[in-house]
Chains A and B, each alone.
Chain A
Amino acid sequence: MSAPAATSLGPVTPPVGETPPPPIRRRGGPFSRENLAATILTGYVPLIIATAVVVLPLLWMMISSFKSPSEILTTDLVVLPSDPTLHNYRVAMTSVPIPRFFLNSVIVTVIGATLKVTLAIMTAYALVFVRFPAKRIIFVGILVALMVPPQVAILPNYVLIAGWGGVNTYWGIILPGLGTAFGTFLLRQHFLTIPPSILEAASLDGAGHWGSIWRIVVPISLPSIATVALVTVVSEWNDYIWPLIITTDSSMMTLPVGLTALQNSEGNTGSGWGILMAGTVVVIIPVLLVFAALQRYIVSGLTQGSVTG
């Protein structure tokens, strides 16, 4: 087993850049007179429907978060709030400590992702460039871990971490997820493409392994590292089941868990919806912005043969 099963299908992963293949048998361009109707009907109508299906619910969330309670609590359709208000955001913050959730999420995401990416770089470097007898077995062991979903491990990990006193602590939230099979695997694949001669030249210059990691391998692998980092950041930010179990005190909850608390306190019906949408905006918009800015890396990272994401 030399490559993970999922990735041996490598060729199917999409090229992310924009490389439309040459048209098959169009005489004129898509906007020429004879093709215009067909272009709109078979090209743009499906595209617009698909985009609308994705965008409209998110837009609805945004708009609703600025509506007044009476505009939420109505059976009529209120498309736009007549007088956009921050009322929902204010209530959400007094109902549950949203700024605190946000801070907790930032702390957990930044520390967790930094450590994970560092561990992934170090492990991948060791697997590729450092000689060691049992390397192959260790690599397979890491690969198989990629197939184990974290959800089946929550009960034993809860018993262990709770026994160590990790309930309602940052380290308790971060520690069990730190071991990284995904990042290690992805970076290893990239490091294998680095010509060893570059490192040999460096070692002649007296750079040890530590030096060649940070001065040579990391700088020339930045796009791959960015991919791993972004995917890690997004999944740490969104992580739900583990923080849900390991935090009971609202001062330690991350945003997704805090939203569950907000849902419990504001209920699922009535004017609570505006408040819940305000809270939801806080968890969704940061990721949406990161995605909009850096989607190239995120898409390639998520579609490159990771089974569990």
Chain B
Amino acid sequence: MSSTTTGQGAPPRRRRLSGRGRRDAIWFLALALPNIVLIALFTYRPLLTNVYYSTLDWTLGSASATFIGLGNYVEFFTSTAGHESIRITVVFTLVTVGGSMVLGLLLALALNARIPGTAIARSAAFAPYVLSGVGVGLVWLFIFDPDFGVLAWFLRQLGLSSPEWMNDPTMALVMVMVVYIWKNLGYCAIVYLGGLQSLPQDVLQAAALDGAGPLRRFWSISLPLLSPTTFFLLITTMLSSLQAFDILRIMTPTGRGTNALIFESYLQAFGGYSRAGYSAAISVVLFLMLIVITVVQVRFVEKKVHYA
């Protein structure tokens, strides 16, 4: 970009340009500054503030706080409650990422069928992804209700009794994972479908002529060629699983068995404990995890993870 350095003896044309440069700079700031200030204030500033808060023993709303250094981090990484939250985060992330990607790929294969009517199925599959997590959570909470839910009715017909989905911590985690996958797998399916439709048809055709069956073509050609899509989805779904909140909060308000990092951070600050410093420490830990994943993504994308 040209800067506004014009000497005394510069030709008039350059002086005009420098005047224009200054006007452009003013225009740029007038147009972009509001957004830049908002992002700085509400996206970047909180990252630093969180680091500061995380060193405090501070009750939210209280005027005084005690500096305790890394005390909050030590507590999080050594306490049973901290371990439990980490375990839940890992299980939730692995299951929801794996589940929505595998099911998403299967759904994409079904949607890729060359038959009329796939457009409707495609819309239906994507729809849950845009719906309110709170609304979706409530719909499924009713279905999972151990007494009056439709799932309990089906289980009774099979001679089984419904688990206590809401009260049993393990089953609560299973329940929110199922609902989370239901809401997000359409996203994976549509992205995979895009990948499938941009596969080189001549390669697939040649393989078919050579006698490779559909299954063989899928394993040996489609799946390896889809590896960039798979990697893209792996990262994006992992990032969004780590940020899951709405479904967890509405289906299991107390967080027993489902308090993954974001939810635990919320519960600590706003769920009655008002432990702002500890909550901030969890946010910092989560943010560092997200950074690591993003960096891995950037590095791998540079290398272009093609053909497995």
Name A's B-contacting residues (CB within 8 A): 1, 5-6, 8-9, 11-15, 18-26, 30, 39, 42-44, 46-48, 50-51, 53-55, 57-58, 60-61, 64, 72-77, 119-120, 122-123, 125-127, 130-133, 135, 138, 141-142, 145, 147-160, 175-181, 184, 209, 213, 234, 237-238, 240-241, 244-245, 255-256, 259-260, 263, 268-270, 273, 276-277, 279-280, 283-284, 287-288, 291-292, 295, 298-299, 302-303, 307-309
The answer on a CB contact under 8 Å between A238 and B297 is no
What's the Cα separation between A44 and B27 when bound, in Å?
57
**CB of B121 within 8 Å of the partner chain:** yes
The answer on a CB contact under 8 Å between A126 and B138 is no
The answer on a CB contact under 8 Å between B139 and A148 is no
Question: Which A residues lie within 8 Å of B76 (CB)?
Answer: none
**CB of B168 within 8 Å of the partner chain:** no
A171 CB → nearest B CB, Å:
13
The answer on a CB contact under 8 Å between B190 and A14 is yes
Question: Which A residues lie within 8 Å of B70 (CB)?
Answer: none
What's the Cα separation between A307 and B236 when bound, in Å?
6
What's the Cα separation between A270 and B123 when bound, in Å?
33
- Selected from A24, A119, A241, the residue in CB contact (under 8 A) with B208 is A24
The answer on a CB contact under 8 Å between B114 and A263 is no
B8 CB → nearest A CB, Å:
22
Given A77-B150, A184-B35, A298-B130: A55 and B135 interface contact (C-beta under 8 Å): no
Question: Which B residues lie within 8 Å of A126 (CB)?
Answer: 27-28, 31-32
When C-beta atoms are compared, the residue in chain B nearest to A135 turns out to be B1
The answer on a CB contact under 8 Å between B42 and A176 is yes
Interface positions of B from 192 to 236, Cβ below 8 Å from A = 193-195, 197-198, 201, 204-205, 208-209, 228-229, 231-232, 235-236
Question: Which A residues lie within 8 Å of B37 (CB)?
Answer: 179
Question: Which B residues lie within 8 Å of A18 (CB)?
Answer: 119
**CB of B269 within 8 Å of the partner chain:** yes
**CB of B117 within 8 Å of the partner chain:** yes
The answer on a CB contact under 8 Å between B191 and A12 is yes
**CB of B120 within 8 Å of the partner chain:** yes
Question: Which B residues lie within 8 Å of A25 (CB)?
Answer: 205, 208-209
**CB of B163 within 8 Å of the partner chain:** no
Name B's A-contacting residues (CB within 8 A): 1-3, 21, 24-25, 27-29, 31-32, 34-47, 49-50, 53, 60, 106-107, 109-111, 113-121, 123-136, 138-143, 145, 147-148, 150, 152-153, 156, 166, 182, 186-187, 190-191, 193-195, 197-198, 201, 204-205, 208-209, 228-229, 231-232, 235-236, 239-240, 242-243, 245-246, 249-250, 253, 262, 265-266, 269-270, 276, 279-280, 283-284, 286-287, 290-291, 294, 297-298, 301
The answer on a CB contact under 8 Å between B31 and A47 is no
Question: Which B residues lie within 8 Å of A280 (CB)?
Answer: 135, 138-139
What's the Cα separation between A42 and B133 when bound, in Å?
32
- Selected from A1, A47, A279, the residue in CB contact (under 8 A) with B110 is A47
The answer on a CB contact under 8 Å between B32 and A127 is yes
Question: Which A residues lie within 8 Å of B182 (CB)?
Answer: 53-54, 57
B254 CB → nearest A CB, Å:
12
Minimum-distance CB pairs A-B, first 9: A14-B194, A179-B38, A153-B46, A156-B46, A156-B49, A46-B110, A179-B39, A126-B31, A132-B28
Q: Which of A13, A64, A132 has the most CB of B within 10 A?
A: A132
Question: Which B residues lie within 8 Å of A73 (CB)?
Answer: 148
Question: Which A residues lie within 8 Å of B243 (CB)?
Answer: 149, 151, 308
- Selected from A145, A149, A283, the residue in CB contact (under 8 A) with B135 is A283
The answer on a CB contact under 8 Å between A155 and B187 is no
Question: Which B residues lie within 8 Å of A61 (CB)?
Answer: 139, 142
A124 CB → nearest B CB, Å:
9
Question: Which A residues lie within 8 Å of B118 (CB)?
Answer: 47
What's the Cα separation between A180 and B136 when bound, in Å?
26
When C-beta atoms are compared, the residue in chain A nearest to B195 turns out to be A12
- Selected from A48, A150, A155, A295, the residue in CB contact (under 8 A) with B280 is A155
The answer on a CB contact under 8 Å between B142 and A133 is no
Q: Which of B113, B126, B142 has the most CB of A within 10 A?
A: B142
Question: Which A residues lie within 8 Å of B286 (CB)?
Answer: 152
